[in-house]
């Protein structure tokens, strides 16, 4: 299925997997609707996307945790941007790596509000239009953490388990419509993910990837675009991808 001219809405598009996904869809000639909290970074991605071949780019400064802001942003889209064809629910983060009984409650709330409630807010705002128009595809970003909990990561893992349940429930609820629903579940991807998790501690973040040839954001973006351009009668329900050196969210082989 050609993605040329299709409107693709990507949340968390200012860096990492979101930015790589924007550039990958740009190369297909898509029209990009990009949202993130960091307007400066988002503008840089938008400029790069136009150079890569995007038909057009429209940016929104948006925090998906704010339900009213999400509703207003989607409701106020110009007519030429309102008919979203592909939604990529990418916005998400992890904060902290502590035992549950020692965890920072503010970190928990940020993860739950972004990874679960933000996912729900954006989906609720966008999918009714897809159903009304009789076309659309929702791609949610999950994680290997959603299928196997690891020590000190209970709340983050719970948010990704929730993503998987929401993804599967949405696909069931849309049965009988042409709308497709996919979860893409990466393992270790080398982005600012760990830097965010450790509140900017670069040394601690770097240790996460030591001895591992991790996935790149471009690896994940390629899978997202592949799922989106399958024939219209084909729904890719779930893609689980890891580095060769990773078996699951607990088992890694690190080279010395």
Enclosing H/E stretch for 172: helix 154-173
- Asked if 156 is an active-site residue, the reply is yes
Q: Could you give the dihedral angle defined by the CA atoms of residues 110, 75, 62 and 165, in that order, rounded to the nearest 10 degrees?
A: 40
Strand pairing class (86-89; 56-61) = unpaired
Q: What is the DSSP string of 52-108?
A: HT-SEEEEEE--TT-HHHHHHHHHT--GGG-S-SEEEE----------GGG--HHHH
Catalytic position from the list 101, 150, 156, 209: 156
Distances (CA, A) of 94 to 91, 154, 196, 243: 11, 11, 7, 20
Q: Crossing angle for the helix pair 119-133 and 67-75, nearest 10 degrees?
A: 30
SS3 category, 225? helix
Q: Are 17 and 141 in contact (CB under 8 A)?
A: yes
Catalytic residues: 156
């Amino acid at each position: 299925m050609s993605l040329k001219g299709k409107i693709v809405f990507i949340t968390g598009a200012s860096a990492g997997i979101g930015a790589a996904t924007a550039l990958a869809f740009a190369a297909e000639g898509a029209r990009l609707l990009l949202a993130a909290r960091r307007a400066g970074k988002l503008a840089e991605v938008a400029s790069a996307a136009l150079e890569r071949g995007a038909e057009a780019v429209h940016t929104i400064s948006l925090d998906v945790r704010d339900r009213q802001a999400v509703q207003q942003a989607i409701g106020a889209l110009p007519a030429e941007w309102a008919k979203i064809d592909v939604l990529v629910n990418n916005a998400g983060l992890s904060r902290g790596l502590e035992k549950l009984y020692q965890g920072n409650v503010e970190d928990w709330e940020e993860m739950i509000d972004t990874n679960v409630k933000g996912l729900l807010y954006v989906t609720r705002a966008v999918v009714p239009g897809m159903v009304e128009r009789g076309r659309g595809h929702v791609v949610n970003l999950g994680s290997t953490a959603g299928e196997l909990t690891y020590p000190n990561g209970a709340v983050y893992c719970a948010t990704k388990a929730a993503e998987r349940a929401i993804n599967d429930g949405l696909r069931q609820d849309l049965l009988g419509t042409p709308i497709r629903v996919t979860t893409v579940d990466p393992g270790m991807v080398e982005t600012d993910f760990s830097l965010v998790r450790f509140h900017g501690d670069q040394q601690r973040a770097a240790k996460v990837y030591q001895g591992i040839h991790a996935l790149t954001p471009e690896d994940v973006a390629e899978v997202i675009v592949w799922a989106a351009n399958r024939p219209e009668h084909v729904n890719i329900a779930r893609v689980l991808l890891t580095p060769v050196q990773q078996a699951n969210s607990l088992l890694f082989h690190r080279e010395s």
